[in-house]
Structure 1
Amino acid sequence: MYYTLTELPYAADPLPGFAAIRPLGLPVLLDSAASGRQPGRYSIMSAGPLSRVRPAVGESGREVLDRLRNALHTLGSARWPDGEALPFGAGALGFISYDFARLLEQLPADAQADIRLPRLQMGVYDWNVTSDHQQKRSWLVCHPQLEPGLRTELLERLDSAEATYRGFRLTTAFSAEQSRQDYQSAFERIQHYIHAGDCYQINLAQRFSAHCQGDPLTAYQRLRSACPTPFSAYLEDPGFSILCHSPERFLSCRDGMVETRPIKGTRKRGSNPEQDRALAEELLASPKDQAENLMIVDLLRNDLGRTCAVGSVKVPELFSLETYPNVHHLVSSITGQLAPEYDPLDLLAGAFPGGSITGAPKIRAMQIIEELEPVRRSLYCGSIGYIGCEGQMDLNISIRSLVHQDDRLYLWGGGGIVADSQAEAEYQETLTKVQVLMDALA
């Protein structure tokens, strides 16, 4: 049983094609923003899933993942035609909220949960459109079980795709939902916990919101132009939309090879080439940022070690510089070989949520986050991506992300707090990370 690949005209911008399949329901776009370079080489989109997995009342996280595993097994794996292997053929596409961690660990319930978002939503799709931005080629990829009539309908839809965007506007400016003084108080409390030995690092975030009118896909198009990133995504449900512009990979797994690429360390871009280069060099040479990054590297080595073969976990890349339109980041890579008794969903259960957006040690960090952040993180710092029928997986960390619900947009900015952090600098970093997104929609 083989996948059927039909080559389509290549389009660097996937949004016209996405708009064409959008009426099929529950559309998902995993968007590399046409970067054409690793890790953002491919864009993948689909709609009209066969089924949808969400947590049921009283289910544990592992029970939910077992249902997802069974749904993937029911669809079944397929083989690729010779010489045409792509990263994803059929399987699960969707998101995992940060709050899914509550189904994996015992955590307090102090913060307000005011966004109505499931803790996990994964649709099982038997077709997709994949674009390779390096080779500049696109395909309609169909699972062997796909009905021939649907394949014909999809080709007709994609052939008539047009770039039409409906109106969108903010009706109020973005504003912080937490005062600067409240942020300062939370920062001081974290310093107390660090000096008391509770933790080494805590990721502290604040939420911003704005009222809006119009089509959130138009908002996504504006954000995509302003801040192209390799792990962007747009997902739509009757009750909400998700607009993600993440630069960070959480977990990938292919042929048993695992990688995670945590970001820790940030500088804003300079106003001219000389200043920009100086800020990048400052970040690369910063002992504080290197120490912050190394703490998370060690945490993730431990997380991967739960499901990877003994001795296989390595750090091939440490303190590399990645540059985006608004910031420079310090990035490392941790790899491993999945042990034969585990699959990618076991890997996910053992490592979620990503350590780069909790702190260390992870469980204590999540407890402190729940105490100090007044509202739940919802999608923020969760994951978006795919889990394929053949055992491949690629998930981002959903930072630089917005949730659209009831004509309101929610956006978060955060950063890691360590013993020698300065409150004002950390507060400004939360603004630097999201300012480009706010400006694009203003």
Structure 2
Amino acid sequence: MRPILAMNGRHSFSLIRPTARHLALFYVLKQGAILSLSPERFILCDNSEIQTRPIKGTLPRLPDPQEDSKQAVKLANSAKDRAENLMIVDLMRNDIGRVAVAGSVKVPELFVVEPFPAVHHLVSTITAQLPEQLHASDLLRAAFPGGSITGAPKVRAMEIIDELEPQRRNAWCGSIGYLSFCGNMDTSITIRTLTAISGQIFCSAGGGIVADSQEEAEYQETFDKVNRILKQLEK
């Protein structure tokens, strides 16, 4: 993470907000702000109905519509990205299954390509039912942090992250959301998320590493994810 610009956080968010679809937020802190354009839902709990939508698999959008459609098909058929997505689906099913009603965990959508302004993402949907005696906070404790940004096996992956990454992730790759008095909850994974501190904007990006990853492709993917945001800030 490094400072990319010296500018006001609120003004910065007004510049990048048009690049977001949903789950965007601007959160004021005592010494700065969080600017999040997250495309990824972590955990939704609505009247005890649970939903999580992990993202694993990314290719950049292309300017030509026909080539862009081919890019989406390429992502949908990528064995590497499907395997990576399935790994996290299994992890999230296990995490949610620790507190969900027995037999209620389902995967209604698997390997769906969703277009975003800068990239195509491979998204899956997991649903379940929260027992009446449990609260959304129990669900959050069971599943946090999100498997899509830890990897699997989760505990060992987090140990490796702590060993190898030179800086703390802070708000990036965490979760932000709300927990209501009636027991509902909605949270995002804070990817595509910037931090404003003392007049500087910090931007982070990353990608999952698996056995058949190609380092140049993974490195380029980090830029594909944030280039559009950075260009908006430079206007």
The question of a shared fold, defined as TM-score above 0.5 by the shorter chain, is answered with yes
Which of the numbers 3, 14, 25 marks the counterpart of 1:233? 25
Following the alignment from structure 1 to structure 2, what is the Cα–Cα distance between the partners of residues 265 and 366? Answer: 20
Which of the numbers 12, 34, 40 marks the counterpart of 1:219? 12
Q: How does 1:70-149 map to 2 (within 5 A)?
A: none
Deviations 1:290-327, CA, capped at 9 Å, x for gaps = 00000000000000011101111110110111111100
Q: How many residues align?
A: 234
Structure 1: 5+ residue runs without aligned partners? 1-206
Residue number in structure 2 paired with 1:279: 71
Alignment pair present for 1:245 and 2:19: no
How far residue 237 of structure 1 moved from its aligned partner, in angstroms, is 2.2
Give the letter aligned to residue 274 of structure 1.
Q
Residue number in structure 2 paired with 1:408: 200
Runs of 4+ in 1 over 3 A off after TM superposition: none
Which of the numbers 356, 363, 378 marks the counterpart of 2:155? 363
Residue number in structure 2 paired with 1:389: 181
- Match of 1:390, SS state, is coil
How far residue 228 of structure 1 moved from its aligned partner, in angstroms, is 2.0
TM-score (ref. length: structure 1): 0.52
Q: What RMSD over aligned residues (CA atoms) do the two structures have, in Å?
A: 1.0
- Structure (1 or 2) with the larger CA radius of gyration: 1
Deviations 1:391-428, CA, capped at 9 Å, x for gaps = 10000101000010012211111111111000010000
Residue number in structure 2 paired with 1:88: none
- Match of 1:394, SS state, is strand
Give the letter aligned to residue 198 of structure 2.
D
Residue number in structure 2 paired with 1:435: 227
Following the alignment from structure 1 to structure 2, what is the Cα–Cα distance between the partners of residues 378 and 237? Answer: 13
Q: Given that residues 9 and 199 in structure 2 are in contact (C-alpha distance below 8 angstroms), is that contact kept between their aligned partners in structure 1?
A: no
Which of the numbers 201, 210, 220 marks the counterpart of 2:4? 210
How far residue 209 of structure 1 moved from its aligned partner, in angstroms, is 2.4
How far residue 384 of structure 1 moved from its aligned partner, in angstroms, is 1.3
- Match of 2:206, SS state, is strand
Which of the numbers 146, 170, 184 marks the counterpart of 1:354? 146
Following the alignment from structure 1 to structure 2, what is the Cα–Cα distance between the partners of residues 211 and 333? Answer: 36
Following the alignment from structure 1 to structure 2, what is the Cα–Cα distance between the partners of residues 208 and 323? Answer: 28
Give the letter aligned to residue 209 of structure 1.
P
Deviations 1:252-283, CA, capped at 9 Å, x for gaps = 00111101000000000012112111111100
Deviations 1:21-80, CA, capped at 9 Å, x for gaps = xxxxxxxxxxxxxxxxxxxxxxxxxxxxxxxxxxxxxxxxxxxxxxxxxxxxxxxxxxxx
Q: Given that residues 48 and 129 in structure 2 are in contact (C-alpha distance below 8 angstroms), is that contact kept between their aligned partners in structure 1?
A: yes
- Which one scores higher on RCO, CA 8 angstroms, separation ≥ 6? 2
Alignment pair present for 1:339 and 2:128: no
Q: Given that residues 100 and 128 in structure 2 are in contact (C-alpha distance below 8 angstroms), is that contact kept between their aligned partners in structure 1?
A: yes
- Match of 1:395, SS state, is strand
Residue number in structure 1 paired with 2:172: 380
Structure 2: 5+ residue runs without aligned partners? none
